[in-house]
A and B are shown apart, each in its own frame.
Chain A
Amino acid sequence: MLPTGAELIYQGAEARVYCVPFLGRKAVAKERFSKAYRHPVLDRKLTSRRVVQEARLLQRCRRAGVAAPAVYHVDLGASTIYMEHIDATTVRDHLHQATLRAEQVSLLAQQIGQLLARMHQADVIHGDLTTSNMMLRKQEEGDQRLVAIDFGLSYTSTLPEDKAVDLYVLERAFLSTHPNSEQMFQEILDFYRATGKGSGAQQVLKRLDEVRLRGRKRSMIG
């Protein structure tokens, strides 16, 4: 049962996100809802599985030193995860609003590259990397500024191919949402390479070239 005073902040295709009072804190409740076109039993199974998966991967990221919202409570019956409310703006809004100096852009690229490298080192494939699914915390003492959110499509994999596709998804999102960001994205990849050195980052980036080529071929046919 959602707390009284829940305030809807986001309505997506698969989930609703609320701001809720939770045991004296401000929290976020992410509730997955059913898909009417799916068989009810199958649907409940799939929904429950995704909720479990999302909660577990949030913890896995945190363990690996990737900043992600803390999980406060998982209500499987209501398909709802209660999590830490990140007081932050999305990277998307940040890039749109602010007139950033070159060194600020580099700093952000560094944080993104490092976060992605650490996440992939932990074999977490985000599955939906966009600048809306990364948030910049209003700096608190000792806290990492960049926080990854939305592990609703995430899974674990050791395959360079899966990691490369993850980066490719972000590249496409980046370039379409933020015009003239080619240089920034290249910087992200440079920091990804530097951080993930010795743990397969090189291999992933090589794979990324192939994924891009496939993507280009596909768009020429289609």
Chain B
Amino acid sequence: MTGSTHLLETSAETAHLFYFSNVRNAKALREQLLAGDARLAYALVDGRAVLDPFQLLVAAGRAAEAARDDRLKTRNVHSEVVYNLAPDTNIGGAFRNFGVVDDSQALAVVKIGGQRDEAESDLIDLIDGTPESTERIGSDVDLERIRKCYKLTPAEMAHRTQLINTVVTAMALKGVTQAAITTTSDA
């Protein structure tokens, strides 16, 4: 198995990525997460909702910043990664659409901080599935699901070279709201 390690430049934290296929214990994993099992200090993301590793890293980068500044919107930095994948502030929806669910068969895993080797052997213990190279991240994507989750227009879907950028833009603008300087009435 080959995880990969990435620098999250804006917080100087580190993120490790892993990927599993043929996962058979998704339901148990989800229940463990719900119960707040401390051993599951990972973001478990449904492979169907992942287009590209960059999507995971952007979510991780933002989560690490929020943890550093003590302004997490969810329980911990790893649940925050899942939350950050969603384009809106609905926490339950984010977990349903992006997190591990009972019928998840492919899982992308994000670990912030710690040693990759340790996380890797721990995950092989926890997840009943086939460890894959992180090169495979994105290969199980369900584009219809991406379209729905990010509310993409037909033109945005058609523009494949920009699709990952469009997705990340939707994520980046989540919660970035403030009274806009707007003129609307026509005289």
A and B co-occur in one complex:
yes
A141 touches B10 (CB 8 A): no
Chain B interface residue bracket vs A: 35 or more
A70 touches B169 (CB 8 A): yes
B178 touches A48 (CB 8 A): yes
A23 touches B172 (CB 8 A): no
The yes or no answer to B39 lying at the interface (CB within 8 A) is: no
Compute how far the CA of A159 lies from the CA of B186 in the bound complex, rounded to whole angstroms. Answer: 6
The yes or no answer to B118 lying at the interface (CB within 8 A) is: no
Nearest A residue to B187 via CB reads: A159
Interface residue count on the A side (C-beta < 8 Å): 41
User: Which residues, 73 to 104 on A, are CB-close (under 8 Å) to B?
Assistant: 73-77, 82, 84
The yes or no answer to A215 lying at the interface (CB within 8 A) is: no
Task: Report A-chain residues with C-beta under 8 Å of the C-beta of B155.
Answer: 65
A52 touches B172 (CB 8 A): no
Instruction: Select one of B8, B69, B181 contacting A53, CB under 8 A.
Output: B181
The yes or no answer to A58 lying at the interface (CB within 8 A) is: yes
B173 touches A56 (CB 8 A): yes
The yes or no answer to A148 lying at the interface (CB within 8 A) is: no
A162 touches B183 (CB 8 A): yes
Task: Report B-chain residues with C-beta under 8 Å of the C-beta of A58.
Answer: 169
**CB contact under 8 A between A73 and B61, given known A55-B172, A142-B160:** yes
CB distance from A50 to the nearest CB of B (A): 9
Task: Report B-chain residues with C-beta under 8 Å of the C-beta of A65.
Answer: 155
A74 touches B176 (CB 8 A): yes
Compute how far the CA of A23 lies from the CA of B62 in the bound complex, rounded to whole angstroms. Answer: 11
B182 touches A55 (CB 8 A): no
Hey, which bits of chain A sit against chain B, CB under 8 A? 1, 3-4, 20-25, 48-49, 52-53, 55-56, 58-59, 62-63, 65, 70-77, 82, 84, 140-143, 155-160, 162
7 A-B pairs (CB sep. < 8 Å): A20-B9, A70-B169, A72-B58, A74-B173, A156-B183, A157-B183, A160-B186
A sample of 9 more A-B contacts (CB under 8 A), given A62-B156, A70-B169, A142-B160, is A4-B9, A24-B6, A58-B169, A70-B162, A74-B173, A75-B10, A76-B176, A158-B183, A158-B184
The 5 closest A-B pairs by CB, nearest first: A70-B165, A3-B9, A23-B57, A157-B183, A71-B172
